[in-house]
Amino acid sequence: MGDDILVFAEQRENRLHAGALQCVTAARSLAGKTGGQVVACVIGDATDQAVAAVQNAGVDRVIVVRDASLRLYSPLRYRTALAAAITKVGPRAVLMPATFMGRDLAPRVAVCIRGACATDVVDVSCGQNGAIDARRPVYNGKASCHVTLPANRVAVISIRPNVYAPSSGAAPGAVEPLAFAAAPGDDRVGARELMRAGGEIKDVAEADVIVAGGRSLKSEENFKIIYDLARELDAAVGASRAACDAGYQPHSRQVGLTGKTVTPKLYIACGISGAIQHLAGMRGSKVIVAINTDAEAPIFKAADYGIVGDLFKIVPLLTQEVHKLRHA
């Protein structure tokens, strides 16, 4: 085990995940303490754009594992590929975005290399005696937990998106190919296809801005005003569980404890009471706006900006105002 910090730079379809550059920022701060290099690892098939994007973000080296069988994510093949990169680099720690891919891959890789693991971390630093300190939200965000990962094992850590600022760099890091050799049995799980969720409206898990509606929207048709504002803001549409259970929105848009955890730059909650299970999924957002007729609704306690009022009046007005701003 050495001093370098390895970043698994997640890409899909040759697009680098924004969280990868945020991990480079975290990695730079760790490497500043360990005295090692920041090394990125890109795994996939056609990955040149993703490689270029991370190469220019302040990394010293980029290891590229390219193979046709790595075009789509597979927990087995990606584990084998990343473990090979870890063996080559011998890093102190491995960072990756806490996406669906990263959360899935981190524990598997950690076991494979006999390391230690922490997931969905919001702050990472070098602790005493060579340990690594990580802070992560627990109990639906109702508490924060400090964990130390032991000095004698490689630390594999997934980093919550949108917590660290993206890194940008000076000189491009050198690119080194690493051949992929599948491990026996890696073909037991395949990856048949990746179907893009249709339409122009983004998914909540990948959006910087989310406009979310609750039970108070009363029907699927009424969600149109939420979609109108979302389109104007280039945002995703989210929903409370009550709205999803009532059939106004698909479960894939549910935010919360049993829905998705999101950390956008802006979350606009329209007619959502702010039940603890909803807050669990969105309280990590940078800026929170609440619109609710009930001044006592708990969502206002979590909000940076609140409007006590009828969403059916306020939301279309917001759409107009944003439109004016965008076309001014």
Partner 1 sequence: MKILVIVKQVPDSTTVIKFAASGRDIERGGVKLVVNPFDEFAIELAVRLREARSDVETITVLTVGPASAAEALRTCLAIGADNAIHLQDAAFDSLDELQTAALIAAVVRERGYDLIVRGKQEIDLDSGQLGPALAELLNLPHVGAVTKFELAADGKSAVANRRVEGAEEIVPLQLPALVTVDKGLCEARYPSLPNLMKAKKKPMTALAAADLPGFADAVGGLGGSTLERLEPPPQRPPGKILKGEPEQVAAELVALLRSEAKAI
Ligand X SMILES: Cc1cc2nc3c(=O)[nH]c(=O)nc-3n(C[C@H](O)[C@H](O)[C@H](O)COP(=O)(O)OP(=O)(O)OC[C@H]3O[C@@H](n4cnc5c(N)ncnc54)[C@H](O)[C@@H]3O)c2cc1C
Bridge partners (DSSP) of residue 177 are 64
What's the rounded Cα separation, in Å, for the pair 285 and 69?
36
Applying CB under 8 A, the span of 47-55, 57-65, 215-223, 302-310 interacting with partner 1 comes to 302-310
34 makes contact with ligand X (CB under 6 A): no
The footprint of partner 1 on residues 47-106 (CB under 8 A) is: 72-76, 79, 99-101, 103-106
- Measured at the alpha carbon of residue 261, what is the angle toward residues 325 and 239, in degrees to the nearest 5? 60
226 makes contact with ligand X (CB under 6 A): no
What's the rounded Cα separation, in Å, for the pair 195 and 204?
16
Place of tokens 């999924």: 281
The footprint of partner 1 on residues 5-34 (CB under 8 A) is: 12, 17
277 makes contact with partner 1 (CB under 8 A): yes
Q: Supply the minimum distance, in Å, between the C-beta of residue 170 and ligand X.
A: 43
241 makes contact with ligand X (CB under 6 A): yes
Q: Of the candidates 49, 130, 142, 177, which one interacts with partner 1 according to CB under 8 A?
A: 142
What's the rounded Cα separation, in Å, for the pair 10 and 23?
10
Q: Which residues contact 296 (CB under 8 A, 6 or more apart)?
A: none
Contact 67, 45 (CB under 8 A): yes
Q: Of the candidates 46, 165, 181, 197, which one interacts with partner 1 according to CB under 8 A?
A: 197
Q: In what helix (H) or strand (E) does residue 51 lie, and over which residues does it extend?
A: helix 48-55
Q: Supply the minimum distance, in Å, between the C-beta of residue 303 and ligand X.
A: 12
- Measured at the alpha carbon of residue 311, what is the angle toward residues 307 and 315, in degrees to the nearest 5? 90
With H, G, I as helix, E, B as strand and everything else as coil, classify residue 36.
coil
231 makes contact with partner 1 (CB under 8 A): no
113 makes contact with ligand X (CB under 6 A): no
272 makes contact with ligand X (CB under 6 A): yes
In one-letter notation, the amino acid at residue 287 is V
Q: Which does 272 bind (CB under 5 to 8 A by kind): ligand X, partner 1, none?
A: ligand X
> Which pair of structure tokens corresponds to residue 267?
């979350």
Q: In what helix (H) or strand (E) does residue 32 lie, and over which residues does it extend?
A: helix 18-34
Bridge partners (DSSP) of residue 118 are 157
Q: Which lies closer to partner 1 via its Cβ, residue 175 or residue 182?
A: 182
Applying CB under 6 A, the span of 24-32, 132-140, 169-177, 256-264 interacting with ligand X comes to 256-264
Q: Which lies closer to partner 1 via its Cβ, residue 37 or residue 292?
A: 292
Q: Which lies closer to ligand X via its Cβ, residue 58 or residue 306?
A: 306
Q: Which lies closer to ligand X via its Cβ, residue 220 or residue 234?
A: 220
Residues lying near ligand X in the complex (CB under 6 A): 214-216, 240-243, 254-259, 271-273, 275, 277-278, 281, 291-294, 297, 310-312
